[in-house]
Structure 1
């Protein structure tokens, strides 16, 4: 169904794989995407390069009888990973790799866009090639910069993420939260240093931090509904300089994961309360820093997602798999909090995990993904 052939899409994907760039640095990627899009039929297309977010790219496809504007998002940045795939088209940029499969995401979006550049859709379609998903909250930036206003405002938004654990080309989804929201946790405990032999003259930051860490572990076990899911992981602790000096400072760094924004806000609240309690108990000062940015839970819209799943289940050429929530983060969650929509999986069948230096997606997933999405969008526009 795509105007671009399967072989052309594979070649596009391989070139994108060779030129990975980090968040907000995607200049070469942007230029290549623009070049591919400008080679498409332009009759229905309006291309926008926002100066406020210069590596972003938006394309509006004018519908013939528009009732709505349907948004489709593809993220374009890569990760600071040294590639170890041995592929002939491996990354040309040292220490940077499309280890999360955003090259697949972009290629599928180009395939869908090329089809609708040749076959005018009934509704308007908005394609958003988004920078800075892996860090810097690109979706949130775009929203707060006002990029989705006027004719560029979607009534509903869709996007995919590749999944190594699903067969190549399979579509996975669930009605509910697909990805957890994430929040960075930074805690500084400030006490009073002193000699190890005179602890009563000091305020031990290590002891206070140890008590804080243990109390934080009770948030999930005692403040969260056991039927729901949340995670608080404290992965880094630093304190002290020598064995016989009581430390005046301890640093704790970690992460929160939650399946709803309400749950994350509850965990945030309990963290703040526990930190205040430690201040009172140990006579120390505790500075709590929480940074969520745009990494909200990816909460799929119930009605739109049921419609999406019903289509995919009923399509004989689509292998649909109902999936479970994942505790990984995705900044599409912020956009789904602002616009109703659905995120879904595209299977890429690989033994390596996402963010792995050896990730090698099966390329037959690309054309199958394009075909499934084209079919769904045509189905949606007939409703």
Structure 2
């Protein structure tokens, strides 16, 4: 493993920043303290900043030895927000805010990019510009979309943008990156079935929406097994059904909610169309009606082939070919997808290990993402920061990458 010595020398101080962020988690678009901390550190290191994009976003501007005159620029992105969940850990840097936790490692993502920024502040041995994008509201707020809407790529023109996420369960010291879809689209639906209420002892007097909902749940799985190609991925999960207020009353209505995940917009179009048709026709068969609404939240995260291969080669130079794995696509979602709709780039995984790094006082649960016993592995900071530095330097030095 070839990590940069100057980054290793500062790793403990960056880890302390990471733990401070972990102890003070902030939810989407509320990351004022975190943004203040990031801005203060970048300013301390002599890196110009721009604030307020996407409400609480921070962009650091690192110009190379040519002061950016060559016109080439690359974006490196880290998310900074936490999750609305209670932490089970009791170690020193556990969350001090009830109901808020860095359970996805965004504190670590911020730390790795800060470590790279600190190195860049004294090692500007490249031509071009490195934009350090500290993005708010990844966890459901669409912070990437909001930064783009606020002019991210107009104010800071770049030819490519890259992101990175820690990945528990992979052996520490490994990376994973692949071309094409690596994370799914995230979409939620609400279906309200309108029946006719009656006494539960006289169901023939009404139109019961509950068995209609039950048939609809089963029929949706038939869409997955019979309407889409078996080799293509798609998920329809009904996760909530709400109906009724008394055990002897057939309710007037029943509400169903859930999520749809796909790796392409074309598949999402198919699933939405069929779900709507199935819902309408099942209701009609039982003399009911329904309101169907599907919200398209995050598009699929699709890596550009050239940028993914470039990232892989950079990783191989750091950890060796055997430690750069195929990135198995996941049905989880990521709003970095909005950036990849606008610019070429790649979103990679850096292995977080199996949880053995956690200190005494961690919860009894596994060290998996969105788990109340999770904690980021601080040993990754030098490795992740080295990847950011090497990626930017090599990309800016490679005129054939566009």
For this structure pair, what is the TM-score category when the shorter chain's length is used for normalisation?
A: over 0.9
Partner of 1:303: 306
Q: 1:47 aligns with which of 46, 49, 52?
A: 49
Contact 1:170 1:365 in 2 (8 A): no
- Secondary structure, aligned partner of 1:83: coil
8 Å Cα contact 1:296-1:331 kept in structure 2: yes
Does the 8 A contact of 2:130 with 2:392 survive in 1? no
What is the CA–CA distance in structure 1 between the aligned matches of 2:70 and 2:354, rounded to whole Å? 39
Q: Which runs of 4+ in 1 moved over 6 A?
A: none
Q: Is the 8 A contact 1:350 1:361 kept in 2?
A: no
* Matching residue of 1:5: 10
Equivalent residues in 2 for 1:320-339 (5 A)? 320-339=324-343
Q: Which residue of 1 aligns with 2:215?
A: 211
- Counterpart of 2:224 (choices 196, 217, 220) is 220
- In the TM superposition, residue 301 of structure 1 has moved relative to its aligned partner by 0.6
For residue 201 of structure 1, report the CA deviation from its aligned partner. Answer: 3.6
- 1:287-340: CA deviations, max 9, x gaps? 1121222x2111111111112113323445683222211111111112212211
User: Which residue of the partner structure matches residue 161 of structure 1?
Assistant: 165
Contact 2:195 2:251 in 1 (8 A): yes
Is the 1:169–1:364 contact (alpha carbons within 8 Å) kept by the matching residues of 2? no
Q: Tell me which moved more, 130-139 or 306-315.
A: 306-315
- TM-score normalized by the length of structure 2: 0.89
Give the CA deviation at 1:77: 0.4
Moved more, 95-104 or 176-185: 176-185
- Aligned to 1:20, the other structure's residue is in SS state coil
1:367 and 2:382 aligned: yes
Match of 2:361 in 1: none
Distance 1:268 1:68 in 2: 41
Tell me if structure 1 keeps the 8 A contact 2:182–2:328: yes
State whether structure 2 residue 267 is matched by structure 1 residue 263.
Answer: yes
1:380 positional shift: 1.2
Q: 1:57 maps to what in 2?
A: 58
Partner of 2:364: none
Equivalent residues in 2 for 1:264-303, closer than 5 Å = 264-293=268-297, 295-303=298-306
Listed one character per residue, the Cα deviations across residues 167-186 of structure 1 (whole Å, up to 9, x for unaligned) are 22421112222211111111
Q: Is the 8 A contact 1:194 1:201 kept in 2?
A: yes
Aligned residues: 377
User: How far apart in 2 are the matches of 1:98 and 1:30?
Assistant: 15
**How far apart are the structure 1 equivalents of 2:320 and 2:305?**
24
SS in 1 for 2:259: strand
Provide the TM-score with structure 1 as the length reference. Answer: 0.93
